[in-house]
Amino acid sequence: MTLLTLVRHGQTDWNLARRIQGSTDIPLNATGQDDARAAAALLADGTHHAIYASPLVRAHETARIIADELGLASPGLVPDMRERSFGEGEGILVADYLEQYGDWHATPPGSETLAGVCERALSALDSIARHARLRSAPVAESVIVVTHGGVIRSLLNHVSSGTLPREGDILRNGSVHRFEASPGVLRLLESIAV
């Protein structure tokens, strides 16, 4: 068994403006750096053995701050934990996106499906957990993975058989979501907003 703690990256100016980021590489703002420190404070009461991150700068920067705060080695980058590509939907305001495309399940031209995001994220988490089990058997290892709202939403939806997140639930920047991973199984333990 491996304990996987998924953290949503800190705030960016595009989050603040409610603009679709997707795979567009937007850095943290000052509030986002504070979000990362707040997430690290939430995680400080436990033991963590490694940290990984999406290669997008907002997630990687969040992971670096958390690693520094917790005394962990530099985060490993996991390309398949990147945010969903929204294709032609990237860069537009959320309200305009929803008006134009209807909902988050829409696939604007050039975008990735939610099912595709979930599939690649599950595969990446399985690889992370498998690597952790090889390093630490028979002791459970605790790993932090800094990723994105769309990725976390797709995983919550998967593990809850479509009941989470509920309509209108907001995954706050810096929020923490703890999972337990064993071969072929991912189970939600808790979600905590900062």
76 touches 55 (CB < 8 A): no
- Separation between Cα atoms, residue 39 and residue 62, nearest integer Å: 9
Quote the strand ranges of the chain, DSSP E: 2-8, 50-53, 76-77, 141-147, 176-182, 185-192
CA 10 to chain centre: 10
Active-site choice (9, 48, 148, 177): 9
Q: Is 9 a catalytic residue?
A: yes
The one catalytic residue among 61, 83, 90, 141 = 83
Buried-exposed string 71-106: b where 16+ CB fall within 10 A, e elsewhere:
ebeebeebebbbbbbbeebbebeeeebeeebeeeee
Identify which of 151, 148, 143 has the alpha carbon closest to the alpha carbon of residue 173: 148
Query: Is position 180 annotated as part of the catalytic site?
Result: no
| Paired tokens of 151 | 């990725």
Positions annotated as catalytic residues are 9, 83
